[in-house]
C-alpha cells in the first residue's frame, strides 16, 4: 500500500458549494479540491479530517458508522440547514486512531454522536461528490497548544501507510472581524511568512510554527487559532516532507489571501 500525503486546506466559508455566488467566488478553491483525489497514489481507504470547527477537552475521534450533520453556521439561506452529505463513517479506523493517540500519551476518547461540520462536509462534497468515501474526524484540543497538535499529527502518521488520507481543514487567514480590503495587508503578510517557513528544513520549520505568534500579523490573521491548528496536525503527520502549494488566491472575501498545502 502506498503512503498517502497529508494536506492542509483553506476550506472556504460556510456552506459555499450550495450558494451560487459564493461558489463562483471560490471557483479556484473548488478546482483544487476536485483535483485532490486524482493526485493521490491510490484510492484512500478513508479520509480523516481535522477541522477547525470541532474541539474538545481531550482529543476526540468520531466513531459513528453514519455520522449526522452539524450546521455550525448562521445567516445562510434556510435550505443550507437541510444539506445532507451522507458519507459513511469509519468505526474500525476510529478505534485504531484512538489507540494510536493513546499510545502517544495524549488524552483521547471516542465520540459516537459527533457529526460532520461544514469544515468537513463542504470540501468533501467537492472532493467526493457521491459521498461514497468513508470519512471521520479527530477534534482539536481546547487551548490549541501547538506542541500537542504536532504530537497528534505524529501519532496519526502510521495511518498514512494504511490507506488513510489525513486532511487538516481550516483557513490560513481567519479573522471574521477583519475582512474585506482591511484584511489584505495582514493576510498577505502572514501568508508570505507561512509559505517561507514551510520551505525551511524540518527542525527549523517545526520550531517556527511552534512559535507562530511571532510571525508578522499573526494575531491579526488569527485572533483565535482554531483554523490554523489543523495545519500543525497535517504537518506533524508528515514532518520533514516537502510542502507544495495546492491552492493560492488573493482577494477572496474582498481582500483575503489564502493558501492550501500538500505535504509529501
Band of pLDDT at residue 257, cut at 50, 70 and 90:
very high
Band of pLDDT at residue 1, cut at 50, 70 and 90:
confident
Q: How many helices (H) does the chain have, and how many strands (E)?
A: 9, 10
Q: Do 61 and 114 meet the contact criterion of CB atoms below 8 Å apart?
A: no
pLDDT in tens, 139-194: 999 999 999 999 999 999 999 999 999 999 999 999 988 899 999 999 999 999 99
Rounded average pLDDT over 87-95: 98
pLDDT in tens, 53-84: 999 999 999 999 999 999 999 999 999 999 99
Query: What's the half-sphere exposure (Cβ side, CA atoms, 13 Å) at 225?
Result: 22
How confident is the model at residue 154, as a pLDDT? 98
- Domains of the chain plus CATH, in order, are 6-263 (3.40.830.10)
Helices 202-210 and 229-236 sit at what angle, rounded to 10 degrees? 160
Q: Does residue 244 surpass a pLDDT of 90? A: yes
pLDDT in tens, 189-224: 999 999 999 988 888 999 999 999 999 999 999 999
pTM of full prediction above 0.95: yes
Which residue reads 481543514 in cell numbers? 169
CA 153 to chain centre: 12
Amino acid at each position: 500500500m502506498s503512503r498517502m500525503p497529508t494536506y492542509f486546506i483553506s476550506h472556504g466559508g460556510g456552506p459555499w458549494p450550495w450558494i451560487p455566488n459564493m461558489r463562483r467566488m471560490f471557483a479556484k478553491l473548488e478546482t483544487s479540491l476536485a483535483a485532490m483525489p486524482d493526485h493521490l497514489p491510490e484510492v484512500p481507504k478513508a479520509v480523516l479530517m481535522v477541522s477547525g470547527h470541532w474541539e474538545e477537552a481531550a482529543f476526540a475521534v468520531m466513531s459513528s458508522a453514519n455520522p449526522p450533520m452539524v450546521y455550525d453556521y448562521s445567516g445562510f439561506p434556510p435550505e443550507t440547514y437541510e444539506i445532507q452529505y451522507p458519507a459513511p463513517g469509519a468505526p474500525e479506523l476510529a478505534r485504531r486512531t484512538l489507540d494510536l493517540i493513546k499510545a502517544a500519551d495524549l488524552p483521547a476518547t471516542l465520540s459516537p454522536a459527533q457529526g460532520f461540520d461544514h469544515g468537513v462536509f463542504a470540501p468533501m462534497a467537492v472532493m467526493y461528490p457521491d459521498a461514497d468515501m468513508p470519512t471521520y474526524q479527530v477534534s482539536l484540543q481546547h487551548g490549541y497548544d501547538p506542541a500537542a497538535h504536532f504530537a497528534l499529527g505524529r501519532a496519526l502518521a502510521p495511518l498514512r501507510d494504511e490507506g488513510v488520507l489525513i486532511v487538516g481543514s481550516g483557513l490560513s487567514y481567519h479573522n471574521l472581524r477583519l475582512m474585506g480590503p482591511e484584511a489584505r495587508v495582514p493576510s498577505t503578510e502572514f501568508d508570505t511568512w507561512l509559505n517561507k517557513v514551510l520551505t525551511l528544513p524540518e527542525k527549523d520549520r517545526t520550531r517556527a510554527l511552534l512559535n507562530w505568534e511571532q510571525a508578522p500579523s499573526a494575531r491579526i490573521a488569527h485572533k483565535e487559532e482554531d483554523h490554523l491548528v489543523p495545519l500543525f496536525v497535517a504537518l506533524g503527520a508528515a514532518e520533514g516532507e516537502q510542502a507544495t502549494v495546492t491552492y493560492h488566491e488573493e482577494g477572496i472575501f474582498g481582500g483575503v489571501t489564502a493558501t492550501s498545502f500538500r505535504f509529501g
